[in-house]
Structure 1
């Protein structure tokens, strides 16, 4: 069972690698020079793996499957996980190289400070390209072998929500035993809550985007606001839907309806009248002051957003849509008020997070290896 559970991280991991491989940052400062072909191959192969990942996971977990196929599927998933970690490290190094070159070009080395500069190793561009080219070619060879093997296993494409939807959708409860998250984002949360509650007398739908780069905890901040007692009391209905790459108006409307506590009666009645999912959504929200969180919005297709927004505008006075996105262009398309730009955490909180994670089993300070403790101080 443990092996089966372990495989369930593979889909989200491959999705993260694909996002890193597709990132616009890689196109800057010729950081991919000499690696363009491998880069394109990887971007083509990873979606093929994502297409069949559900079937592979089912084959690995299904006790009724033939033993050989089940064992083969589990081994294949482990291999994908290993090469995905390698690919993730490669793209992280490439991203850091872009940042290094940007800092050098703009003359920010001195502003960054000595400790930050030390994070970027000294090397020339030719040596860097040769080294990263070898790493990327190794990853691509591994991926190509695994794609060939998946065809041999005859894994099937399963229509399913995007992996990021499945991964991010599961809960709005934050596991934070030392309250680091809530303490570090307390000021941000208060500002968000004030904005949301402050729309009480606004007859127009308010859309507030939270914008920031990946890993800044935009979703976590939305969760903190969503769970705030003042928000729970202020709104009639609270809804949470993860969007990611799945911005199809009908399926998104259906997901919002599914998240609504009032869905059953209205949905059943409207279905009998052959109403579309957007029609049903409009009826479910009609007249209610709601807070809808649309987490991880990517689409720049403004016509799709306008179609959905037209139905969301039928809520009660003071209704708000809170979105999270990495894309400033998306924020401008969907936002009706100024976007909330989320900054990084303070150094003291980063130190606390690292120490809590790294030394969670070492309760006494004297048990902590001094080398690691000093490294934590150095990083932050």
Structure 2
């Protein structure tokens, strides 16, 4: 992966810092009084760095180790500087609240709540922090000149982000035609095993991006399949094949819950016992035979004709699972790839330039039979209007190989994004693979982390929707669905990310996004570089408390999706938190507001919270508070 994917786009991070350092509130409330000169020097040096970032990134991609190390240090310093300017902004908001009589209205004791906010104390403390940041940036400037990084002009960022129709083509419709024979063959296999008392295992094997999951969805939704099987189950497995977790997920996908006094495998066995079922295990990587055999013992308790249909990129997985028949998925025919590319490229009403149409055949050759690659290349070319631009794209998109697969094309698609969109997409690495992402909440998380550039004419939420639509139109998001909830009172839009695109996001973010679905084996799972954290373990607070005791990551996003039995500890370490989602069945407010000065997004939906802490009103940065499904909220006395 490292050979074909760009480093994290640092430009938006530095641009975010520039915006924070220029915030009008800093001058209005004189929070940088006595630090004006350092402030001006910092802004000039940031502009100098922005001039050469593109050249530094290109040199890093060309395997110049010094450039890579410089960019990594720049990222570290930029994060620290962003935190410092968050503190400046919070102090400005505090002074604004005091000026407007906010404290008197709340009946707060200002000295009690803010003993450290004496202006002299604040100036001394923040002056010291600013000087440290400035020294670190001066070192970076010196190294920048030593490396010879040069200025490269940036193409203007269009602010005309139209609301795009992201369902430009229907992948299911094309798949139903292009994979008709494949679907028919596998359906015949599954139905033909009706009297087989043994468990039938059919793996679909093929390169990533070939359409294995899409084909499996067609089979899964086939009327004959729904009529034949009593129970239909679908679980995405991905990287970690933990037998107990997998058994639990299978039970949950059937709408059940594993009994607390039973092992997950026992619950699974009870679920399938005597029933003819079809279980889809999507994206399997497990090569440990004993794990599969342990799961198979339970699955064999199903009725005659039961089957497991798997998708995998690894032929050895099929052998390990003792497959009855392995179905090797072939490359998509060129005529269908051409159809996808033309639908993507010319869908916006663009006139079909004769020369461009002729070039499509050359583009098809680059896709190596992959519909995902065709989608990605078509989406890149959709933004290009001239023959010259198309030739540049073709010169950069290497023909796929057995080793790299379609990754060079996906990398090209990612690199072609504006820098702020790179940051918005890469952030999605915080979600597990195959996770249904709530689009509205995703946009709120982008806003909370400062990823969306402000514009005078549009709100951040509007720009966020436009960014999502643009990314979706370029195939970065898929399976976009709108569903009605609570007697159609409101709708919810969700999306997913293809697992190869997720791989790219994970690589770009390196150790900044951490996903923990189960209890990690040690505390090193949470590195100091972690910024965004997704936890859905049964013992959320335990693993987090243990790790935070030994480490000090500057967590900006904390998403908790399991019930918590005790409060989080080491609260002072959460001072960088920008976004917090509390899980369901959380009975107490687990964090005190005095540690959440930078919090901008607080999601308490379905959390079971009954009361707020007294000092929640000091969250001056809070932009979004989601209380949906929270009933009978009261304020603590």
Normalised by the length of structure 2, the TM-score is: 0.34
Paired residue for 1:379?
A: 363
Distance in 1 of aligned mates of 2:274 and 2:81: 55
Distance in 2 of aligned mates of 1:207 and 1:368: 47
Select 2:225's aligned residue among 228, 231, 248: 231
* Structure 1 contact 287–314 (Cα < 8 Å) conserved: yes
Q: Structure 2: where are the runs of 5+ without partners? A: 9-24, 27-52, 84-168, 365-637
Going from structure 1 to structure 2, the CA distance change for 1:199 and 1:151 (only over 3 Å counts) comes to farther
Distance in 1 of aligned mates of 2:267 and 2:355: 60
Where do 1:51-130 residues align within 5 Å?
Answer: none
Where do 1:170-249 residues align within 5 Å?
Answer: 176=170, 179-249=173-243
* Structure 1 contact 246–252 (Cα < 8 Å) conserved: no
* Structure 1 contact 209–335 (Cα < 8 Å) conserved: no
Secondary structure of 2:63 counterpart: helix
Please tell me whether residue 324 in structure 1 is matched to residue 308 in structure 2. Answer: no
Q: Deviations over 1:238-293 (max 9, x none)?
A: 111000012111111111000014x25xx4xx43xx11111111111111111110
Distance in 2 of aligned mates of 1:130 and 1:139: 5
Distance in 1 of aligned mates of 2:172 and 2:197: 40
Deviating runs (4+, > 3 A) in structure 1? 129-132, 136-154
Q: Deviations over 1:130-185 (max 9, x none)?
A: 98434x8756654564466668889xxxxxxxxxxxxxxxxxxxx72782111111
Q: Deviations over 1:33-86 (max 9, x none)?
A: xxxxxx9xx9xx99xxxxxxxxxxxxxxxxxxxx99xxxxxxxxxxxxxx9xx9
Distance in 2 of aligned mates of 1:145 and 1:350: 41
Distance in 2 of aligned mates of 1:276 and 1:228: 33
Going from structure 1 to structure 2, the CA distance change for 1:257 and 1:150 (only over 3 Å counts) comes to farther
Distance in 2 of aligned mates of 1:322 and 1:368: 42
Cα displacement (A) at 1:331:
1.1
Cα displacement (A) at 1:372:
2.2
Where do 1:210-289 residues align within 5 Å?
Answer: 210-261=204-255, 263=256, 267=258, 270-271=259-260, 274-289=261-276
Cα displacement (A) at 1:311:
1.0
Going from structure 1 to structure 2, the CA distance change for 1:185 and 1:143 (only over 3 Å counts) comes to farther
Going from structure 1 to structure 2, the CA distance change for 1:140 and 1:355 (only over 3 Å counts) comes to farther
* Structure 2 contact 234–279 (Cα < 8 Å) conserved: yes
Going from structure 1 to structure 2, the CA distance change for 1:357 and 1:319 (only over 3 Å counts) comes to same
Distance in 1 of aligned mates of 2:73 and 2:190: 49
Please tell me whether residue 343 in structure 1 is matched to residue 330 in structure 2. Answer: yes
Q: Structure 1: where are the runs of 5+ without partners? A: 1-19, 27-31, 33-38, 47-66, 69-82, 91-128, 155-174
Distance in 2 of aligned mates of 1:228 and 1:143: 50
* Structure 2 contact 60–67 (Cα < 8 Å) conserved: no
Tell me how large the CA RMSD over aligned residues is: 3.5
Q: Which moved more, 1:216-225 or 1:139-148?
A: 139-148
Secondary structure of 1:214 counterpart: coil
Structure showing greater relative contact order (alpha-carbon pairs closer than 8 Å, 6 or more residues apart): 1
Distance in 2 of aligned mates of 1:250 and 1:227: 27
Cα displacement (A) at 1:379:
2.4
* Structure 1 contact 204–318 (Cα < 8 Å) conserved: yes
* Structure 1 contact 293–321 (Cα < 8 Å) conserved: yes
* Structure 2 contact 281–311 (Cα < 8 Å) conserved: yes
Please tell me whether residue 354 in structure 1 is matched to residue 373 in structure 2. Answer: no
Paired residue for 1:105?
A: none
Going from structure 1 to structure 2, the CA distance change for 1:200 and 1:251 (only over 3 Å counts) comes to same
Where do 1:284-295 residues align within 5 Å?
Answer: 284-295=271-282
Distance in 2 of aligned mates of 1:313 and 1:152: 58
* Structure 2 contact 172–214 (Cα < 8 Å) conserved: no
**Higher helix content, 1 or 2:** 1
Paired residue for 2:354?
A: 370
* Structure 2 contact 60–68 (Cα < 8 Å) conserved: no
* Structure 2 contact 201–325 (Cα < 8 Å) conserved: no
Secondary structure of 2:304 counterpart: coil
Going from structure 1 to structure 2, the CA distance change for 1:183 and 1:149 (only over 3 Å counts) comes to same
Paired residue for 1:133?
A: 63
Cα displacement (A) at 1:199:
1.1
Paired residue for 1:296?
A: 283
Going from structure 1 to structure 2, the CA distance change for 1:372 and 1:253 (only over 3 Å counts) comes to same
Cα displacement (A) at 1:299:
1.4
Normalised by the length of structure 1, the TM-score is: 0.55
Going from structure 1 to structure 2, the CA distance change for 1:149 and 1:254 (only over 3 Å counts) comes to farther
* Structure 2 contact 247–268 (Cα < 8 Å) conserved: yes
